[in-house]
Structure formats: C-alpha cells, structure tokens
C-alpha cells in the first residue's frame, strides 16, 4: 500500500502542476468551465468571453487556418493576414522564378494591384464550434456498423454532419464547410462550421536572409534571430462571400481583427496562444513511444538526412534548382531535425519511465475499482504494437525512401491505356492516350530536373537496401538483382534512359506508336507498381494487427479522462488540427547545468551570427545599415535595443506555426514559429521546465515592414497600441 501511495504521489503531483500551469491544448468550448480561474490567477486581464464567445464576436474570429497546416491571424479590417515565412514558403516559391526570386530577395506589394494571387492557397475561419457528442452517439446506435468502425470514420462522420445540419436547419452558404471530428479516441465529438476563402493574395515577405535566417542550423533551436513572417490578404466578392480568383474581387471586410501592442513583455508575463496544432500523442502507452522512436523517427532521421545532403549540393549549384526544391527541402529538413531532437529528448527526460508510472497508476485504479477493462485494453495495445512493428518499420522505409524521397515516382497511371490497348478499340485507345498526354505534361512540369532526380534516386535506393534485408525488400529488387546484378544505380540509369517517363522525348516517341509490350515492361512503371504493392502488403499486415486498436485506445483514453477528473484535473484531447488555446508565461530556461537561456533576443545577436560565407547567416546590407544607425523608430525596447524573438512556455506543436501570441489584454505581441530542441518531446510528453515556443516579436515584424521594406502603407492599416 505504501508503494502504491508513493507511486501516486510521484505521478499525480507533477500532473497537477503541469495542468494548472500551462500544459494543455485546450478546447475553446471548455475554457469557461475548466480554465478561466487558472488563467486569471496567472494574469489574464480580459474575460474568457473576449477570447471565445459562441454568441458574439471574439478573438477567435481573427484566428484562421492558413492553408491546411499552419495558423494565421487577421491584423487589419481589410483582410490582411500575418503568418510565418515558412508557412507561406510554398506559395512564395510557386510565384518565384530566376528573374523574380521572391524567396531570396523578398517581395512587397506597394499597392493592391501588386498583390499576387496564390494558386491553391486557402484561408479558413471557424464560425461555430458545437458539442454534438449526444447526437453522434444516437446516430451510432441507429446506423448499421458491421465492422464497428463508424465512430472514427471520417466518411461516416461527414454523413452525420450533414444530417445534423439538416436537423438544426443550418443553412448552406458559399465557402461553408462542415467538419465533424472525434475527440478523446471517440469518447466525444465536436462539429466545426467553417468558411473557406480561396482568393488569397501574396502581400509581402522579407528576403530569406531575414525570414529564414539561421535556416537548418538554427531550426528547432534557441536562441533564435529569424524574422519568420509573411503577409497575405483575403479577397472576396462584393458581398464578402468566398469566390474563386477574379480581378473584380475586393479585400474582405472582416468582422474582427487584432490590436497590436508595442509595449512588449517582461519575464513572467502571462501569454496565451491560439492556433491549429496538427497532431500529438499524449495518450500513448510506453510501448507506442518506443515504437515511434524506432520506426517513424528512425527512418525520418536516417533517410531524410541522406536525401537532403544530395539535394542541397545540387541546389547550391543552380538557382533554378534551388527555387524548385526549396519548399520540399525545407519541409523535409523540418521534421528530420524534429525526429532527431525528439528521440534524444525522450531518452534524456526519461519519458518512457514517466509513461510506465502513468500506466501503472491507471491500472492500479482499475484494480481498486474492480474494473478489468483498462488492463484488457492495455494488454491489447501492447500486443498490437509488438505484432505490427516490423510492418510499420518497412512501411516507413518505403514511404521515406521511395515515395517522399522520389519525386519522379509521381508518374501518371497507365492502367487505362493498358486496358484500352488490350481491347484494341481505337476510340478507347485515343481517349486514353489523350488523357495520359495531359497527365504526362503535368508530370514533366513537376520534375524539370531529371538529373537531380537521378542523383537522389540512387542515394534513396541504396539507403532503402541498407535498412531492409534482401528477403524483405519490395519485388523490384529481385529484378535489380537478376537483370542488373544487384546494381541499383544501374537500374536508376535504365529508368531514365529507357522509360517512357524518363524524358519528354521518350514519352513523345511512345505516343507516336503506343504498345502494350512497352508499357508492361517499362522500368518506371514496374518500379511504381512494386512500391504500391509493397505499401499494400505492409498496410494489410498492419490492418490485421490494428483491427482492435481503436477500440482498446478508446477505453484507455476514457480511463485516463476519468482518472484525471476524479482528481480535479482539467482534461484536453490530443491535437487534431482543430482550433485550440494554450497559455503560459514568458520565461527563460536552463537546458543544461550552468546554462541559462534568456527569454528574448535582439538584433545585436543577428550581427553576432553573421557569416557572409554561409548562406544560412548572411545579413542584408540595409539591415546592417539600420542597425548601425540605431534607426529602429518606435519599435525599439525601452533600453534602445531592437527585439527579434522571445520564448513562452505554452503547449505548442506543428500546426501552431503562425499562431498569434497574445498578452494578458488580448493584444498581439508576436507570431509563434518554432519550438526549442529540448522541448521536442512535447508531442508525446509536455515538460514546462524545458519546453518553449519561439515567437517572432511583433515589433521586429513591424520594423522590417516599415524601416527595412519601406511598406509604411501596410503599417497604416493596422490597429496599434503604444
């Protein structure tokens, strides 16, 4: 009994501290009931109703989902949106060329006519958040569900969302999206009524030497000195409704935009963050954490590192290559370093031991309550993880090395043409040929540098072979062994020399006389087919192992929820790209004995890091001139220094990039863009003593816009509190 009490104390007390201080990606609908008292005690000076008000306008209405993986904030009455440079990076790259290199040189629209349309980019507002748990559970009871999967099925939940909208007389309108999602493993359900705008225009961004200063070296690190921001504007029709791009569209008159504070922050100040955190796994058992370390993280680290090294060498040789691969490289490098840091942190912070203590607490509670469901769920999850791990390991190798790693494997599907050729029907052959021609044109446009693809492919196949034993590899390697004597480099060369997708000339030659034999023995077609088959086989193996996972996980999560509630501890669900709030304070931290990291950085640090011979640390001449002249305008700190970044101990993850960071008055003081290396375990276990979110100081953002870019017309749009 004494041992049990000690275990409970060791585990429960840290949880109480974390939950009431700053751990949690809180649902906005729970703030008033769960968090308002704690937030007020920490320093919040406004009502929670000012943050989220289901019956009125609040700060929530100025926080947007930027694209599908970032957050943004509306900062002017005319739809001006602020987000991270790395969030806008793909759109900026798409608009760039060698002659107009907006990534390297930056860009500022000096009037509305110069704001550039961004193809494919969307910005989404959350209009309403509804707890529909009871309604969904009623539907689950009524509807047939032979496989027992409806409760988590996006397809089924989409049907239920439409039913609910009909029942509640929710009117359809332009741009409206209904999204019903499961939370807590299917123990609760919320519906989000959203409005999505698709006419989004690029307004401005600093050069990469500011917006990406420090690049890969500084990524996930603190201290940071990057001006990681970009600006876009939402356009709509004259009625303010979402509509595709049109020259006649006008800037959206928004119902809420943020007030910006130039007052800054002090150590210990209360802050809160709103955004769309993508995914985390706080309810994992220890076996799942080990699995993540040894499969997903392992492959990301070892495969992406090889690809990035090969890509970077080619990118540095040719500006056109650099622009084409810039966004892909940045995205890859981001989670490559994340995987490394997460694994190191999980070991350093002894997270597995913490998870085991947490598990034992719930299992002990189950025994006391004479409820065996927790133990059964735990045993099921452990067994599932053990069975599926080999398939998951192989799946990740295929995904990282042969899919994500090989752009040229996005070749068009040739099955329709093959079927047409078999039928010998000229009409069908002509139709299928025309369709393939269109798809091939898009494909060749997407891989304009086949020599780079060839170089990377050779590295990827070698890497795949290194980690997967010969008897487990996908089928194409049997052909490589037989026809190419095991030489995967020679196989890659054959792909580009002989495949109809190896070059535009090869494809055009094939189209002049398409034949079934050529398609059936085409190296790239065979390679892609083998990859697809390999993925299918790993998916089948995992599906068999996983078939009872969701049900067991639901029970386990329910147990954790009940245990926390019984102790008076607030609860929150794992992140799933829905709107959340996290709160904390502006604080320094100690990453190691004798080392203390301040809570803010200044422009002096940029100058100290400058290295004109290293592309990651080049400082623009104009920025140096402004620094030397101390021409910081009204954006300087009280001591005359120019702030750049600061850190807060809020609970953030991927998807929070671009999130507004508020002071106690609900005013914008910065834009979240990263986490620190020591805090990369946060997706699995949050540690407020070591986890920090890195934020671009809004004063640095405005300084760059005003003093560096000379875009003072944008400053005039803003609502600024001195």
97 is catalytic: no
Active-site position among 22, 61, 228, 697: 228
CA distances from 594 to 80, 501, 693 (A): 44, 58, 22
Short-list 329, 320, 367, 327, CA closest to 101 = 320
Mode of pairing for the β-strands spanning 660-662 and 668-675: antiparallel
Listed in sequence order, the DSSP H helices in 447-520 are 450-467, 476-483, 488-498, 504-512, 516-520
Residue 358 CB-half CA count within 13 A:
22
635 backbone dihedrals φ, ψ, rounded to 5°: -95, -5
Whether the CB-CB separation of 38 and 581 falls below 8 Å is answered with no
Question: What is the spatial distance between Cα 178 and Cα 168, in angstroms, rounded to a whole number?
Answer: 13
Question: What is the spatial distance between Cα 722 and Cα 720, in angstroms, rounded to a whole number?
Answer: 6
Active-site position among 22, 30, 76, 86: 86
394 is catalytic: no
Active-site position among 230, 286, 488, 657: 657
**CA angle (199 as vertex; 85, 672 as ends), nearest 5:** 25
Q: Structure tokens of 508? A: 């055009």
Torsion of Cα atoms, 620 then 103 then 334 then 153, to 10°: 150
Question: What is the spatial distance between Cα 628 and Cα 375, in angstroms, rounded to a whole number?
Answer: 65
Q: Which letter does DSSP use for residue 399 in this model? A: I
For 372-395, b where at least 16 C-beta lie within 10 A, e where not — what string? eebeebbebbbebbeebbebbbbb
Q: Structure tokens of 387? A: 């069975």
User: How many whole angstroms from its chain centre is CA 509?
Assistant: 42
Short-list 700, 421, 398, 342, CA closest to 528 = 398
86 is catalytic: yes
Torsion of Cα atoms, 388 then 394 then 398 then 401, to 10°: 130
488-498 vs 450-467: helix crossing angle, rounded to 10: 150
Q: Structure tokens of 389? A: 């791990």
Burial of 313 (0-12, 13-18, 19+ CB in 10 A): exposed
Task: Give catalytic residues, as residue numbers.
Answer: 86, 228, 657
């Amino acid at each position: 009994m004494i041992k049990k009490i000690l275990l409970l104390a060791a585990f429960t007390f840290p949880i109480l501290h974390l939950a009431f201080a700053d751990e949690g990606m809180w649902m906005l609908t729970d703030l008033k009931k769960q968090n308002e008292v704690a937030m007020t005690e920490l320093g919040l000076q406004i009502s929670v109703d000012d943050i989220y008000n289901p019956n009125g306008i609040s700060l929530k209405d100025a926080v947007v989902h930027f694209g599908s993986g970032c957050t943004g904030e509306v900062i002017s009455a005319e739809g001006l949106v602020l987000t991270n440079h790395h969030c806008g990076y793909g759109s900026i790259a798409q608009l760039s060329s060698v002659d107009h290199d907006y990534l390297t040189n930056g860009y500022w629209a000096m009037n509305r006519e110069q704001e550039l349309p961004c193809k494919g980019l969307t910005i989404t507002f959350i209009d309403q958040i509804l707890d529909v748990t009871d309604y969904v559970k009623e539907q689950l009871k009524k509807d047939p569900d032979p496989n027992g999967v409806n409760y988590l099925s996006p397809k089924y939940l989409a049907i239920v969302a439409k039913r609910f909208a009909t029942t509640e007389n929710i009117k359809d309108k332009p741009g409206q999206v209904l999204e019903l999602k499961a939370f807590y493993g299917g123990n609760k359900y919320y519906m989000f009524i959203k409005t999505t705008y698709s006419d989004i225009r690029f307004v401005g961004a600093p050069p990469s030497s500011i917006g990406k200063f420090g690049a890969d070296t500084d990524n996930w690190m603190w201290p940071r000195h990057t001006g990681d921001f970009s600006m876009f504007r939402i356009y709509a029709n004259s009625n303010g409704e979402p509509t595709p791009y049109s020259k006649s569209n006008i800037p959206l008159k928004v119902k809420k935009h943020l007030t910006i504070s130039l007052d800054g922050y002090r150590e210990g100040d209360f802050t809160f963050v709103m955004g769309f955190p993508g995914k985390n796994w706080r309810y994992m058992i220890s076996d799942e954490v080990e699995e993540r370390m040894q499969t997903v993280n392992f492959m990301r680290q070892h495969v992406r590192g090889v690809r990035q090294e090969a890509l970077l060498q080619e990118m540095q040789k040719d500006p056109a290559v650099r622009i084409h691969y810039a966004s892909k490289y940045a995205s890859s490098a981001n989670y490559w370093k994340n995987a490394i840091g997460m694994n190191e942190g999980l070991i350093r912070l002894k997270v597995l031991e913490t998870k085991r203590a947490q598990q034992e607490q719930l299992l002990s509670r189950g025994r006391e309550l004479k409820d065996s469901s927790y133990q059964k769920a735990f045993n099921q999850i452990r067994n599932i993880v053990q069975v599926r791990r080999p398939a998951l390991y192989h799946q990740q190798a295929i995904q990282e090395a042969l899919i994500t790693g090989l752009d040229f494997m996005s070749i068009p599907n040739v099955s329709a043409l093959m079927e047409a050729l078999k039928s010998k029907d000229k009409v069908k052959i002509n139709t299928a040929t025309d369709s393939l021609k269109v798809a091939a044109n898009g494909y060749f446009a997407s891989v304009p540098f086949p020599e780079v693809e060839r170089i990377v492919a050779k590295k990827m196949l070698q890497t795949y072979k290194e980690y997967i034993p010969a008897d487990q590899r996908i089928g194409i390697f049997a052909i490589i062994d037989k026809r190419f004597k095991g030489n995967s480099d020679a196989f890659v060369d054959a792909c580009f020399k002989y495949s109809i997708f190896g070059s535009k000339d090869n494809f055009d030659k094939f189209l002049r006389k398409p034949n079934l034999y050529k398609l059936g023995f085409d190296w790239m077609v065979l390679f892609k087919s083998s990859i697809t088959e390999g993925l299918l086989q790993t998916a089948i193996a995992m599906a068999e192992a996983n078939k009872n996972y969701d049900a067991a996980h639901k029970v386990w999560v329910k147990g954790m929820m009940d245990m926390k509630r019984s102790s008076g501890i607030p609860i929150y669900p794992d992140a799933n790209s829905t709107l959340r709030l996290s709160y904390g304070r502006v604080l320094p931290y100690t990453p190691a004995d004798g080392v203390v990291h301040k809570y803010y950085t200044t422009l002096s640090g940029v100058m100290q890091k400058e290295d004109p011979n290293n592309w990651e640390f080049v400082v623009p001449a104009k920025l140096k001139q402004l620094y030397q002249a101390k021409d910081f305008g009204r954006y300087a700190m009280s001591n005359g220094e120019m702030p750049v970044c600061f850190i807060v101990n809020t609970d953030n993850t991927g998807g929070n990039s671009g999130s507004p960071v508020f002071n106690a008055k609900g005013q914008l003081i910065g834009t979240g863009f990263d986490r620190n290396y020591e805090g990369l375990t946060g997706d699995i276990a949050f540690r407020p003593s070591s986890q920090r979110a890195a934020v671009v100081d809004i004063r640095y953002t405005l300084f760059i816009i005003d003093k560096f870019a000379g875009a003072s017309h944008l400053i005039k749009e803003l609502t600024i509190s001195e």
